[in-house]
Amino acid sequence: MPQVSIARLFEDNGDKLKLAWIAGRDGGTKDLNSELTKDSSKGLIGHLNFIHPNLIQVLGASEVNYLNGMEPAASARTLEQIATRDLACFIVAGNEHAPPPLMSVAEATQTPLFLTPLPSVELMWMLRPYLARLLAESITEHGVFLDVLGMGVLITGDSGVGKSELALELISRGGGLIADDVVELFRVGPEIIEGRCPALLKDFLEVRGLGVLNIRTIFGESALRARKNLKLIVHLQRPAGPDPMQMERLPLNACSQELMGVEIRKVIIPVAAGRNLAVLVEAAVRNYVLQLRGIDSTQEFIERQAQQLNGEKP
């Protein structure tokens, strides 16, 4: 289960967000985890909210003025109601002073309290992508993940089908390696899956007969990518029969594969002697880009054929 402690959040973002930890230091071990973020009644981060309490409660000028306008005892009672064990921390933004009741509640409940000079909206803009990446739902897939012509492509197939050899050729043609063998996939948005490489496998590509190659050393920094959004799956398939052309030649319906609730376009390429798979993968990427722009070559051909049969000029 992906999680991040408040101490790590402070360490990773302290300089960038100019955070100052002024109370609740004993609460640094509190965790934000993906199970909590799935609860629809809780927001990950937002302005102070008593009805649907955010896991990270941000106080700007309006929220601070609201608390200062209350009697100290009433303010403390109200804050105690939301300072539950699920609450990660308070952040007072925009050079505002933390109200004394907030300081007291943070210490009493061991809830970290931070100050930042950044405006509250800017603070949330900067923290949301960080939290989304760390707490994203994730799975691992077997295959090779590459940047091909600017698009994230996952090459899959049975062991020994030639995935790594194909990846090596695509890298030599200007592609970029993200991960080989084990690919970590994170759902960082409703329709966005990001692929990354496990730390242990970073920079390496295993090719049968050659062993493990260090792509950074052989091809340089330009042959590597840290992460990429997955857009296309290319599945290498050995034909079931002796004739590779037994497979469907003109697929009328686009193929896709669901990963963590997101539909990803999938192309199946038969593997046979003499086929230039690197060229085929690049062609598949270019064709998918055209389809995203509304240009479908197969449908265009079918329409032209229908016009010809009806005696119309194409």
Entry field: residues in the chain: 314
In the annotation, is 86 catalytic?
A: no
CA 84 to CA 79: how far, in whole Å? 10
In the annotation, is 266 catalytic?
A: no
Beta bridge mates, 229: 194
Angle between helix axes 72-82 and 100-109 (nearest 10 degrees) is: 40
Q: Give how far the C-alpha of residue 83 lies from the chain's centroid of Cα atoms, to the nearest Å.
A: 30
CA 72 to CA 12: how far, in whole Å? 34
Single out the catalytic residue among 15, 85, 249, 293: 249
Max Cα distance, the chain (Å): 86
How many CB atoms lie under 10 A from the CB of residue 23?
22
In contact, 145 and 153? CB cutoff 8 Å: yes
What is the full DSSP assignment across 103-114? Answer: HHHHHHHT--EE
Single out the catalytic residue among 142, 173, 275, 304: 142
In the annotation, is 235 catalytic?
A: no
Single out the catalytic residue among 31, 181, 203, 296: 181
Single out the catalytic residue among 30, 163, 228, 235: 163
Q: For strand 262-270 and strand 227-237, is the pairing parallel, antiparallel, or unpaired?
A: parallel
Residues that are catalytic: 142, 163, 181, 249
